[in-house]
Structures are given as structure tokens and as C-alpha cells.
Structure 1
Amino acid sequence: MRALVLTGPGEAEVRRVPEPQAGPGQVLVDVERVGVCGTDVELFTGEMSYLHTGAASYPLRPGHEWAGTVLATGPGVDRDWVGRRVTGDTMIGCGECARCRAGRHHVCPRRHELGCRDGLPGALAERLAFPAAYLHALPDAVDATLGALVEPGGNALRAVRAAAVAPGERLLVLGTGTIGLLAAMFGRALGARVHLLGEHEPTAELAGGPVWTRQTLPDLAWDAVVDATNAAALPGLAVRLVEPGRTVVYIGLAGAPSLVDTREIVLKDVTAVGILGASAGLAGAITAYAEGDADPRPLVAATVSLEQIVGVLAGERPRDAGPGPKFHVDPRR
């Protein structure tokens, strides 16, 4: 089968690789759609921290935002999965440690991360072998595009839930990338008054509300702030902007260490929450998409082939791409 393989920093190619088989506890998935995110770009460029800590190494097969149809099941897996449209969790725990037993498999010290850490090849391929215990069924109302947006949606939904904003309260989202825009959608679905801060103003259709720059941001009471950027200076800004006694949520990761003055956190009685992974938000994102509470399909700028995504990873933008920040891959092309 065809699969995208990262061979070194700034190097990627589509290769013919052996088609996977559904092993014990696994299913074989015909991959229909895959999203590409900042993590994939950092794996391509060599900036991703896992490449420096030894958690990941080249050659690497990426892809962790996906949707497809189950073709076959391995030993120990219910045959009823065959023919069902699915997506899956990125975080695959060992299932045995105290964290996994407590329902925190996304921080399991021995976890695999699909397409991000060594041990479980990713979804940017025609077929995918995947553990059935981490599958999520997709209802008919969730098409392939939405299915491949469940994983980023789960991350954003977790961030908004952690922000603990009530209807009518103000939520400030830092960043107008995919996670920031998704967080804005979920915030509005909960009844919050959402504003965004970004370097470049996206179209009104994508933002769905006020978008400010640092220079134009109004002096308002922000009941919660979600930092969905990769800017090292913004975690500290988030603490300075949020109302005393409220919550700052960190879901973005900067390439360099961020400086946050803990005196401000203490003296303002601020709660700071970190979000890693979509696991606890996947089911909620699927429901929100199926019921029409959020429709992130306009965020997808273009759907391209495996061969074309190599250029996208290198920073090229197809001429016919829309304004959205997200690119999808159809491995069947």
C-alpha cells in the first residue's frame, strides 16, 4: 500500500509499504480522510520534542486525525466492527499502569501516540491497523471531513470545558489556528461570548465573532482565557488578561520555554489548566458535530493527495486552497 514516510528533517516521500494486518485486539481500517496538524509539521521539520527525547525517530509514518471504515478484525475483536465508519483516540495507553486503570491513559508513561511516537504507524496511508479498544464509531451525520476533525475537536472541547465559562460570560481565545477556531465554536455552543486574538484576522465566516490583534484588543473583563498558540510570550499574557479568580487554559505549545510569573497566578487566584490530548473530548466532539452544534468543515482549506501533502508540510499552499488553516488528505487519490 501507499504511505507517507518522513525520512529525516525536511524529507518525506510516499512509499510502497507492506499492508498491515489486524493483529490481536486490532482492526484493519480503510482510511478515508486524514488531517494534518502542527505536530505533523514539527515531525517533518525535525523540531518536534519527541525526536530529541527519543520517543520518536526517523523513518516515521505520521497521521493521527483520521476517519475510515473497518475492513477486518483481528483475534479477540467483535466482528460487528466490520463495515462501521470510525475514528480513534491518538493516545494508546499500556492498559496496566495506575494511570491507565484510573482512566488517565492519555498520560500513561508507556503510551503510544498514533503517528507521533515510535511503535504505532500513523494514518497517512491507505490502510491502518488500530487497537479496537480505542475506536469511536461515527454516526451517519458525521461525514469523512468531520470524522477527521474529531481529534482536534476533542482537544478544543476539553479546553473549553476546562475554562468553565457560563452562558453570557466572556471567553478570550488566543490563536486563530484550527484549535483556536474550534474552541471558539464550542464556546459559542455553550453560550459564551467569544472573542479571538490573532496576528492575522481570518474571514468572518471562520471566526464567527470579534477578532482582535494585541494592539486593538479591548479592555474587557475576560472570564476565561484559552491559549491555543505556539507563541512563548502568550502564556504570561493570558494570566495578565484573565479576571481574578478565574481560569486560564493552556493547549498550545511554544517551541521555546514560556515565562509565566507565578506571583500573578497566586495574587490573582487564577486556576491554570494544561490540556494534553483529545481522549476525554472525543465522544463530545462527535455528538456536537452530529447534532449540528458545531460545523468545522469550513476550516478545511483543501483536501489533497498523499503526494501533495509533502509540499504542504514544507509550507506550500495549493493555489485553489480556501482560507481555512486545516489541510486534509484523501489517501485513496
Structure 2
Amino acid sequence: MRAFVITGPGRAEVQEVEPPVPGPGEVVVEVERAGVCGTDMEFYSGAMTYLRTGEARYPVRIGHEWAGVVREAGDGVDPAWLGRRVTGDTMLGCGGCARCLGGRQHLCAGRYEIGIRNGWPGALAERLPVPVRALQPLPGAVDPVLGALVEPGGNALRAVDAAALGPGERLLVIGPGTIGLLAALTAAARGVEVHLLGLPGPALDFARSLGFTRTWTGRPELTFDGVIDASNGRGSPALAVEAVEPGRRVVLIGLSAERSDIDTRGLVLGDITAVGILSASGGLAGAAELYASGLVDPRPLVAATVPLEEAALVLAGRRRPEWGSAPKIHVDPRPRG
């Protein structure tokens, strides 16, 4: 089968590789769509932290935002899975450690991460092996485009849940990228007053086109009942602490390439809770339900869908003018024609 393989910093190609064979408790999914995200771009550039820690190494087969149809089932898998459209959890814990048994499998020290950690192949390929325990069935109303947005949507949903806001309360989302916009859409669907902070330019303009008219390009003049930092700005976590109301929550889901500092005196004296969010684990079903209900429509976030052969250009940050400013690019790895 064909798969997109990153062989080194700035080097990638579509290769013919052996198709996966499902092991016990596994299925093989025919991939219909796969999203490209910042983590994938870091693998392509060589900036990904796991490449330095030894948790990943070249060659890498990326792709952890995906949707597809189950085509093969291994021993012990219910045949009812065959033919179902699914997505799945990126984080694959060992299943036997205290973290896994305690419901924190996404933090398992020995975990695989699909398309990211410890060599598990990703979804920029015609077929993808997945443990059946990681599968998330998709409702009939959730097509491949929406399905490939469930993983980032699960991250955003967990961030919004962690902010613990009610209708009419005020949320600041820092960073109008895919996760930030999905968090904004999710919060708005719950009746939250959403504000977005970002740099002047196309990303913030695109957010306004979605109806988010309360935008900031500098330190807001208000305080907020919750703040979600979905940016990669080094100073954003500190700004989030300054902008949140005393006694409320700051949610950190973005990561800077450099160390970010927070003055803990601000947390203590404001009785502020800071929450970190890693992965969509636990949020996939909720995101799929939101999309199926129509309460959240993330389709406008997808600028274009390209074949495997164009994935390297996307990872290098090259965008066609006709794509506009929507943040997400999808890949359809199926053979053309």
C-alpha cells in the first residue's frame, strides 16, 4: 500500500510499504481522511521534542487525526465492527499499569501514540492498524470530513469542560488555530460569551468570519471567567493567569517551542486553578455527538483536501491562495481515479 513517510528533517516521500495485518484485538481501517496538524509539521521540520528524547525517530509515518472504515478484524474482535466508519484515540496505553487501570491510559509511560510515539504508524496511508479498544464509532451524520475533526474536537471539548463555565459567562481563547476555534465553537454552543485573542492577520480575520466578533490583538481590557491557552506563544500562559478572574480556571492546551514561565504568586494570590490538557482521550464521543447534532459545525475550518503526494508541501507551510485562511488541511490517502 502507499504511505507518506518522513525520512528526515525536510525530507519525505510516498512509499510502497507492506499493508498492516491485524493482530489479536486489532482492526485495520481503510483511511478516508487524515488531518495535518502542528505536531506533524514539527516532525517534518525536525523540531518535534520526541525526536530529541528518543520517543520517536525517523523514518516516521505521521497522521493522528483520521476517519475511515474498518475492513479487517483480528482474533477476538467482534465482526460487527467490519464496515463501520470510525475514528480512534491517538493514545494507546499498555492496559495493565496503574495509570491505565485508573482511567489514565493516555498518560501511560509505555504508551504508543498513533503517528507520533514509539513507532506506531499513522494515518497518512491507505490503511491503518488500530486496537479495537481505541476505536470510536461515528454516527451516520458524521462523514469522513467531520470524522477526521473528531480528534482535535475532543481536545477542544476537554479544554472547554476544564474551564467549567456556564451560559452567559465570559471565556477568553488565546490562539485562533484549529484547537482554539473548535474550543470557541464548543463554548459558544453552550451559551458562553467567547472572546478570541491572536495576532493581527488572516487567522483572526477568519475567526471573525465565523461570527466571533469579540477579538483582541493585545492584552484584553477585561477579565474573564475562564481562559483557554491554545496558542504556541511563550508568554501566553502568563497572560492567561493575568486575564482570569480570581477563583476561576486557566486551561493550558497549547505548547510553546520554548519554556513558558508562570509567576505562581498570581495563581496562589488569585486562588486560580491551572489545568493541563493532553490529548482527546475521553473527549472523542462527546465531539462526535456535537458534530452529529449540528450544534457545532467545524467544516469551515477545512481549507482543502489534498492527495498523499501533496502532503509534503502542506507540511512545509505552502498554501495555495485559493485555500483562504481556514486553518486545517486534510489528506485523502486513497488512490486517485
Provide, for residues 92-123 of structure 1, a one-character-per-residue CA deviation record: whole Å limited to 9, x for no partner: 00000000001100100010000001231001
The residue number in structure 2 matching 1:64 is 64
The total of aligned residue pairs comes to 331
Once residues 122 and 29 of structure 1 are traced to their aligned partners in structure 2, the CA distance between those partners, rounded to angstroms, is: 11
2:16 paired with 1:13: no
The residue number in structure 2 matching 1:95 is 95
Equivalent residues in 2 for 1:79-90, closer than 5 Å? 79-90=79-90
The residue number in structure 2 matching 1:233 is 235
Say if 2:94 and 2:108, in contact at 8 Å, map to a contact too.
yes
Provide, for residues 183-229 of structure 1, a one-character-per-residue CA deviation record: whole Å limited to 9, x for no partner: 000111111000000113223233533221016x3x22300000000
The percentage of counterpart residues that share the same residue type is 61
Provide, for residues 248-285 of structure 1, a one-character-per-residue CA deviation record: whole Å limited to 9, x for no partner: 00000000000100011101110000000001111100
| Amino acid across the alignment from 2:184 | A
SS in 1 for 2:322: coil
| Amino acid across the alignment from 1:148 | A
Equivalent residues in 2 for 1:163-242, closer than 5 Å? 163-199=163-199, 200=201, 201-203=204-206, 204-206=208-210, 208-214=212-218, 217=220, 219-242=221-244
Bigger shift: 233-242 or 204-213?
204-213
2:323 paired with 1:321: yes
SS in 2 for 1:247: strand
Say if 1:2 and 1:125, in contact at 8 Å, map to a contact too.
yes
SS in 2 for 1:236: helix
Say if 1:206 and 1:324, in contact at 8 Å, map to a contact too.
no
Say if 2:29 and 2:129, in contact at 8 Å, map to a contact too.
yes
| Amino acid across the alignment from 2:194 | V
1:299 aligns with one of 301, 313, 325: 301
Once residues 256 and 40 of structure 1 are traced to their aligned partners in structure 2, the CA distance between those partners, rounded to angstroms, is: 18
SS in 2 for 1:202: helix
Unaligned runs of 5+ in 1: none
2:76 paired with 1:76: yes
Provide, for residues 265-311 of structure 1, a one-character-per-residue CA deviation record: whole Å limited to 9, x for no partner: 10111000000000111110000000011000100010001111110
CA root-mean-square deviation? 1.0
SS in 1 for 2:15: strand
Bigger shift: 238-247 or 195-204?
195-204
Once residues 297 and 158 of structure 1 are traced to their aligned partners in structure 2, the CA distance between those partners, rounded to angstroms, is: 20
Say if 2:196 and 2:212, in contact at 8 Å, map to a contact too.
no
In the superposition, the TM-score normalised over structure 2's length comes to 0.96
Unaligned runs of 5+ in 2: none
SS in 2 for 1:183: helix
Once residues 324 and 193 of structure 2 are traced to their aligned partners in structure 1, the CA distance between those partners, rounded to angstroms, is: 27
